[in-house]
């Protein structure tokens, strides 16, 4: 008999919970949700900002990679490893910035760097530079583990 009373009590509790749940979920007035209104222009602006940020990250990564390569092509341990090369297609005709000193074993990497930096046709000055870097006494040496030009 006690089992039947317990069963009946549990059945009534379950029915009460179901009735309360049904009344809670079947409101006459729906729950309002405030959503911001997005326009096509706002979406396009957001996409443009994301694209710009990605381009900036790519440019920064490329700049870091170029800087690391510049350091590697100049690393040395002895004067014999260093040579003077044209940094610009015009070389000494461009002036002191037209030449640089690099490690001779890194000429391929350096030419890739120069090729990436220079594009299109270049008009060279007709008279060569008389700066120290382009003089006949200029030579490449290893100073503080980096190739440099001395005069």
The alpha carbons of the chain give a radius of gyration, in whole angstroms, of 37
Q: Is residue 102 one of the residues assigned to a domain?
A: yes
Q: How much is the pLDDT for 131? A: 63
Confirm whether 150 is domain-assigned: yes
Distance of alpha carbon 84 from alpha carbon 92, whole angstroms:
11
> Would residue 82 count as lying in a domain?
yes
Cα–Cα distance, 1 to 24 (Å, whole number): 35
- Structural domain includes residue 93: yes
Residue 133 belongs to a domain = yes
The set of long-range contacts for 9-13, using a CB threshold of 8 Å and a minimum separation of 24, is none
Low-confidence ranges of the chain (pLDDT < 50): none
3-class state of residue 42 by DSSP: helix
Instruction: With 0.85 as the threshold, say if the pTM is over it.
Output: no
Residues near 99 by beta carbon (within 8 Å), at least 6 away in sequence: 84, 85, 86, 87, 88, 91, 92, 133, 134, 138, 149
* Domain-located, residue 137: yes
**Residue 144: per-residue pLDDT:** 94
Whether residue 98 lies inside any domain: the answer is yes
Is 54 a domain residue? no
Instruction: Report helix, strand or coil for 102.
Output: strand
Residue with tokens 């910035």: 97
Containing structural domain, residue 87: 61-119+127-151
pLDDT of the residue at 27 = 64
Count: domains in the chain: 1
């Amino acid at each position: 008999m006690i089992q039947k009373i317990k069963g009946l009590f549990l059945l009534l509790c379950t029915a009460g919970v179901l009735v309360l749940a049904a009344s809670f979920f079947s409101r006459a007035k729906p729950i309002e949700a405030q959503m911001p209104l997005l326009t096509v222009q706002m979406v396009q602006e957001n996409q443009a900002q994301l694209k710009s940020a990605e381009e900036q990250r790519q440019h920064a990564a490329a700049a870091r990679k170029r800087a690391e390569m510049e350091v590697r092509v100049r690393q040395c341990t002895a004067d014999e490893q260093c040579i003077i090369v044209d940094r610009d297609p015009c070389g000494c005709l461009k002036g002191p910035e037209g030449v640089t000193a690099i490690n001779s074993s890194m000429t391929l990497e350096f030419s890739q760097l120069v090729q990436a930096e220079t594009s299109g046709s270049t008009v060279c000055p007709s008279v060569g530079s008389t700066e120290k870097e382009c003089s006949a006494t200029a030579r490449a040496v290893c100073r503080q583990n980096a190739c440099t030009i001395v005069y």
